[in-house]
Amino acid sequence: MYICGNKKQKEIARKIQKKLIYRFKIDIELGTIIGKNLILAHPYCITITKNTVISENCYILQNITIGGASEPIEIIIGDNVSVGANSVILGGKIKIGNNVKIGAMSFINKDIPDNSTAYTQKTATIIRNV
């Protein structure tokens, strides 16, 4: 609606964006392309930068950041992708294939092939015993 729309449609897109930010703390930048059936299961604290393409039937949980701070950002998320809570997809040009599951609290900065599961291994580091 924002990219191809007329002046009135772009104005409506900006109003929708402002309401999402105010009510749910969801910031989907204008210029993001979203396919059919995107599900934001727990819609809170989601940031998606422009030049991101989210294909069809994707499932995104809360506290997600997709994008990056520097240009050019070009993140392509394939069909049927599930992104777990508190995950970050960060970088310049990243392609996430179709039928991918990204585990909770994952940091993704590389391409992920089709039909894969990706997660970040976490180990507890003991700084000091009390």
- Name the band, by pLDDT with cuts 50, 70 and 90, for residue 87: very high
Helices (H) and strands (E) in the chain, counts: 1, 14
Which domains, from first to last, does the chain contain? 28-114 (2.160.10.10)
79 or 13, greater pLDDT: 79
Among candidates 13, 14, 10, 50, which has minimal Cα distance to 32?
50
Q: CA–CA separation, 52 vs 40, rounded Å?
A: 16
pTM to 2 decimal places: 0.82
Task: Give me the chain's average pLDDT, please.
Answer: 88
In this prediction, residue 61 carries a pLDDT of 95
Of 15, 23, 10, 60, nearest in space to 39 by CA: 60
In the prediction, which pLDDT does 10 show?
83
Mean pLDDT, residues 106-124: 91
> Can you tell me which residue has the tokens 């039909």?
115
pLDDT at 101: 97
What pLDDT, in 10s, does the model give residues 3-57? Answer: 666 888 888 888 888 888 888 888 888 888 999 999 998 888 999 998 899 999 9
